Structure 1
Amino acid sequence: MMRTWFITGISRGFGRLMAEKLLSTGNLVAATVRNLHAVDDLKAQFSDRLWLAPLDLTDGSAIRTTVNAAWQDLGRIDVVVSNAAYGLFGAAEEVTDAQIHHQIDTNLLGSIQLVRAALPHMRAQGGGRILQISSLGGQVAIAGGSLYHATKWGIEGFMEAVAQEVAVFGIGCTIVEPGSARTSFRGQGAISGPRIQAYDASPSRKVNRLIEDGSVLSPGDPAKMVDAMIDSVEQNPAPLRLALGSDTYSHMAQMLATRLGQLEAQRELACSTDWNDKAIQLR
């Protein structure tokens, strides 16, 4: 089924692959990039079906202006894909204040404002679908990823609540959980903070080394992942989460089993902290 899509960050990675796939199969795509020249080839090939605008997700007012302009020009947008993001890595003490603010402004606040800008239009048109690209890092935390995890765990909580708020309007929300994939993320989409020598003894340093070691291949096929994202729009109701990659499945399964075991071990303690209403009534 042909649809009109709005995708942030199509210069590389999942956004680029998704835009190429959708355009080549006849869909209309409204897309944003920070540098329009990064997609000159797509403009030349698909100028009749590609609506483009420059956008930096740290500019909240520009997000709303861009979303409004896309809807005004195209009339209807069926799917909004909140994709643009990057990873900030290093121990929490190592990253700078400026890096922290930029990471949160881009990944968390930018994604929140994108969804908020799209919702009035989706309500007015009677429905739509939102795909929030999160990651395995939105479910499982590792040393050295504290700030990245803060943004991904944050946006997942936001989207879980929004999904409940807007279902009544025919709007479906899906949180996409890709594992490690062979995109340019490690080379271009991941940065590290300054290093404090003491943290050479910390497990957080493993992440720094992984980013720098280009010989380590990721298990995920980004083209297959993008196909799964696109196909998910056909599912009704929308899946709340879409786990992609064997590493995502295995790590999430292990994490959920561990957390459930820890919770069960605290059942008696948890219940013991309720008010004893029977005792109160007997007084």
Structure 2
Amino acid sequence: MSKTWLITGSARGLGRFIVEAALAAGDNVLATARDPGRLDDLKAVHGDRLASFMLDVTDMMAAQAAVEAAVAAFGRLDVLVNNAGFGHLAPFEQASEVDFRSQIDTNFYGVVNLSRAALPVMRRQRAGHIIQLSSVGGRMGTPGMSAYQAAKWAVGGFTEVLAKETAGFGVKVVAVEPGGMRTDWGYNARGNAPELLPEYQASVGAIQQLLQHYVGHEIGDPAKVAQVIVDLTRRESVPTHLLLGSDAQHVFNQADAVRRQEAEAWADVTRSTDFDGTDLSILARLRVD
């Protein structure tokens, strides 16, 4: 049986690749975007299997209306892909409050809004997949990306909790965490950078230099990422976090090793705050799964 998808940020970049992959798999798609007219060429090819919807993911009422539109058009909602998002490179001190908040609202609260709207439908169906398009940046810190990565870290934590809450009634939640992909994300991220204060040249300036050489030569193929996402929706068992791309694996391993080394180096201080003589056998009953 074909599935029904709701995909945010569908007009360009990875979102459009996901729309195309879902349609190629024979599924129905409600593709949302701020400018849904950019999807008209796909609608001309795929007819009634593709519907479009104007959506600002930061608007909770609009998120609810988008879910209702998907159900009205296709009778159910099987897959939600929270893809809409953007990042701007700037030191935290030099980032405007408006831009910082806009990144948090889009990258995190957009995910919250659509998930909140979709969950009652999927719970009643006792089935569904919620795919959060996060980033390897949700597991590491990159100078200049404070707003974007703070949101992605939040998406990762939100996904872990949601996946545990919904597992009992058949709804699967995954945070997909790609590395760099050949979309326009990198161009947009570096295009709004302010003139750096001298003190940030060594940190954020180094990332600016890296992006100058990396943007346009990213390792990740968005078409292959989109196909992995389609494959996830066909699986009964899915991971809570899924890194995609050799670069994502590489930098995650580095970041994780640093955290482990730091935790071990400070382990005595960590344990020093326990009450003296505490019975630690209780720890055997604490679970994270």
Count of aligned pairs: 279
CA contact (8 A) 1:144 1:204 kept: yes
TM-score by length of 2: 0.90
Unaligned runs of 5+ in 1: none
Q: What does 1:25-174 align with in structure 2 at a 5 Å threshold?
A: 25-174=25-174
Secondary structure, counterpart of 1:47 in structure 2: helix
Unaligned runs of 5+ in 2: 280-289
Amino acid at match of 1:225: V
Amino acid at match of 2:19: A
Question: CA 1:165 to 1:215, structure 2 compared with 1: closer, same or farther past 3 Å?
Answer: closer
For residues 166 and 235 of structure 2, the distance between their equivalents in structure 1, rounded to whole angstroms, comes to 17
1:23-71 Cα distance to aligned partner (Å, 9 max, x none): 1231111110110221110111112100210001122221112212222
CA contact (8 A) 2:10 2:19 kept: yes
For residues 271 and 6 of structure 2, the distance between their equivalents in structure 1, rounded to whole angstroms, comes to 47
CA contact (8 A) 1:17 1:226 kept: yes
Secondary structure, counterpart of 1:98 in structure 2: helix
For residues 99 and 124 of structure 2, the distance between their equivalents in structure 1, rounded to whole angstroms, comes to 37
Aligned-residue identity in percent: 38
Question: CA 1:215 to 1:87, structure 2 compared with 1: closer, same or farther past 3 Å?
Answer: closer
| Deviation of the 1:210 alpha carbon | 4.6
For residues 6 and 124 of structure 2, the distance between their equivalents in structure 1, rounded to whole angstroms, comes to 17
Amino acid at match of 1:129: H
Secondary structure, counterpart of 1:254 in structure 2: helix
Q: Which moved more, 1:108-117 or 1:268-277?
A: 268-277
CA contact (8 A) 1:94 1:195 kept: no
For residues 215 and 153 of structure 1, the distance between their equivalents in structure 2, rounded to whole angstroms, comes to 23
TM-score by length of 1: 0.92
1:186-227 Cα distance to aligned partner (Å, 9 max, x none): 224665343343245231023334555676511111111211
RMSD, aligned CA: 2.0
Q: Which moved more, 1:6-15 or 1:255-264?
A: 255-264
| Deviation of the 1:105 alpha carbon | 1.2
Secondary structure, counterpart of 1:224 in structure 2: helix
CA contact (8 A) 1:15 1:84 kept: yes
Structure 2 residue aligned with 1:242:
242
For residues 176 and 76 of structure 1, the distance between their equivalents in structure 2, rounded to whole angstroms, comes to 23
Secondary structure, counterpart of 2:94 in structure 1: coil
Amino acid at match of 1:132: Q
Structure 2 residue aligned with 1:222:
222
Q: What does 1:4-43 align with in structure 2 at a 5 Å threshold?
A: 4-43=4-43
